[in-house]
Structure 1
Amino acid sequence: MEALLGRAQAAGGIRADLAMPEVLALLSSACLGAERHQWDDGLRDRTLRLVFDGLRAP
């Protein structure tokens, strides 16, 4: 994942100030929240869309 992150940042698609700890924290938080609270498909999709939008380079 770290290599993918580095390539995405080098290509300008992902924020340059993002590091693996933040990526892992965001993804694990979303996964745990979805599992614990039984998110429906719509909530899961909207939440992930917001997370992924926030990772993109400005």
Structure 2
Amino acid sequence: MTNYLTLNIAYNEHQKIINETGGLSGIRNERLGSVLEHIQNDSYYLSLKINYVI
């Protein structure tokens, strides 16, 4: 089973980075969610293998 990065995890990691380094909080628009959904389409990324450990 492939575990994909979720929007919630990406947002939380982004917030951690913002808290440490400064910058604008939050997600500006829906692009991130769209990207995270798109990479789950294996027909586009047949040879890409990413291991994400929680």
Q: Same fold (TM over 0.5)?
A: no
TM-score category (smaller protein): 0.3 to 0.5
More helix per residue: 1
